[in-house]
Structure 1
Amino acid sequence: MRTLPDLMIEPVVRMALAEDLGRAGDMTAMACIPEGARMRAAFAARKAGVLAGIDCVRLAVRAMDPAASIDLRLCDGDAFEPGAVLAEVEADARAFLSAERTALNLLGRLSGVATLTRAYVEAVRGTGARIADTRKTTPGLRALEKHAVACGGGINHRFGLDDAILIKDNHVSVCGGVGEAVRRARAFAPHLMKVEVEVDGLDQLDEALALIAEGVGPDVIMLDNFTLGDLREAVRRTAGSVVLEASGGVDLTTVRDIAETGVDVISVGALTHSAPVLDIGLDAL
Structure 2
Amino acid sequence: MLGRMFGSGRDNNFTRPNEKGEFEVADGISSTVFRAILDYYRSGIIRCPDGVSIPELREACDYLCISFSYSTIKCRDLSALMHELSNDGARRQFECYLEEMVLPLMVASAQSGERECHVVVLTDDDVVDWDEEYPPQMGEEYSQIIYSTKLYRFFKYIENRDVAKSVLKDRGLKKIRLGIEGYPTYKEKVKRRPGGRPEVIYNYVQRPFIRMSWEKEEGKSRHVDFQCVKSKSTTNLAAAAADIPQDQLVVLQPPGPQVDELDTLPQQPTVGPGPENHLGPQLLQHQQAQDSPGQAGQNQSHSSYNQNTYHYDPDPDDPSPSA
TM-score range, shorter chain: under 0.3
Higher relative contact order (CA 8 A, sep 6+): 1
TM-score (structure 1 length as normaliser): 0.26
